[in-house]
Amino acid sequence: MTKYFYIENSQITPEFGDIFINHLNTTNEDIIVMLKSPGGNPYIARNLYEILKKYPYETTVYGFDQIDSAAVVFYLGFKNRYITPNSSFLVHPTSTERDNFPESINAYNIQPHVNLLKSTDDMTIDIILSEIFLTENKEMARTVLFNMILLNTRIYENDAKLYKFINDVKNLPDIDQNLTIKL
């Protein structure tokens, strides 16, 4: 038996993570996820990535339209990865809301925020590099991916296949919508 999830335009938030994890904890079967997401919290995405990597059953994801930002890390946690024709991924530097900063800021109290953003980018780069292939040279691959992130790069199906983000390009599976969990 297989459990199906349809995730369209959902942010990767703590609430989303809790709901998804609860579903995984209450099922003992393969899962297929259809995913379109603008991204969200990179720490929740990393947590979901790690949980999916340990999930003892088959995990399959079909990305459609756009899989952006933190959703890329979530997507890469699946064993079988597909996108639909004309879909893409967006990688970019980690950002934060202005209200996360004090009203008055100086070089000393901004540094912890800068360090956190840099460490988050490093975590994201490490996960992506563990799942994709850019070049045999690991340091060069890290530099290429870092530059892709700095340039807010959208990765389309041909490059996604070349870099091994995906197994293949396929249409969404035809499933009974009554059997699908919508998140």
Token pair for 11: 């942010």
Q: Is 42 helix (H, G, I), strand (E, B) or coil?
A: helix
Tally the domains of the chain. 1
Whether the predicted pLDDT of 178 surpasses 90: no
pLDDT band at 98 (very low <50, low <70, confident <90, very high): confident
| pLDDT tens, residue by residue, 132-141 | 988 888 899 9
Whether the predicted pLDDT of 173 surpasses 80: yes
Mean pLDDT, residues 23-43:
95
**73: exposed, middle or buried (Cβ count in 10 Å: 0-12, 13-18, 19+):** buried
Bridge partner residues of 90 (DSSP): 68, 154
Mean pLDDT, residues 27-32:
93
Whether the predicted pLDDT of 34 surpasses 90: yes
Q: CB within 8 A of 98, min separation 6: which ones?
A: none
First to last CA, the chain: 20
Look up residue 72 and give its amino acid.
V
User: Which pTM was predicted?
Assistant: 0.93
What is the sign, positive or negative, of the torsion defined by CA atoms of 172, 175, 178, 180? Answer: negative
Residue 132's nearest CA partner among 172, 154, 159 is 159
pLDDT value of position 104: 83
Least confident of 45-49, 103-107, 142-146: 103-107
Cα R_g (the chain), whole angstroms: 17
Q: What is the mean pLDDT of the chain?
A: 93
d(C-alpha 61, C-alpha 66), whole Å: 13
| pLDDT tens, residue by residue, 4-17 | 999 999 999 999 99
pLDDT value of position 12: 96
CATH of the domain at 127: 3.90.226.10
33: containing domain: 2-182
